[in-house]
Chains A and B, each alone.
Chain A
Amino acid sequence: MKFHFFHLMPYPDLPADFRETHRSVWVDVPSKLFDPAVGHRAYNDYLDELEYAAQVGFDGICVNEHHQNAYGLMPSPNLMAAALARRTSGVKLVLMGNSVALYNPPTRVAEEMAMLDVLSGGRLVAGFPVGTPMDTTFCYGQSPATLREKYREGVELILRAWAEPEVFSFNGKYTQLRYVNIWPRPMQKPRPPVWVPGGASVETWDLCLDNDFLYANLSYFGYQEGQKIMDGFWNAVDRHKLPRNPYRAGFLQFIAVADSDAEAERLYAEPALYFYRRCLHIFPGYVNPPGYMSMATLKAGIEGQVSRITNRAGARAEMATLSWKDLVDRGYLVAGSPATVADRINDMADKLNVGHLMTLLHFGNMSKETTLYNTRMFAEQVIPRLRPRFSEWEDRWFPRDMPAAVAPAVSPEAVS
Chain B
Amino acid sequence: MPEILDQARTQVLENGVGLDQAGVLAVLNLPDEHLTATLQLAHEVRMRWCGPEVEVEGIVSLKTGGCPEDCHFCSQSGLFASPVRSVWLDIPSLVEAARQTAATGATEFCIVAAVRGPDARLMKQMREGVAAIKAEVDIQVAASLGMLTQEQVDELVEMGVHRYNHNLETCRSYFPNVVTTHSFEERWETLRMVRESGMEVCCGGILGLGETVEQRAEFAAQLAELDPHEVPLNFLNPRPGTPLGDRPVVEGKDALRAIAAFRLAMPRTILRYAGGREITLGDLGTRDGLLGGINAVIVGNYLTTLGRPATEDLKLLDDLKMPVKALSATL
Instruction: Please say whether chains A and B are actual partners in one complex.
Output: no
Interface residues of A (CB under 8 A from B): none
Chain B: residues with CB nearer than 8 A to chain A?
A: none
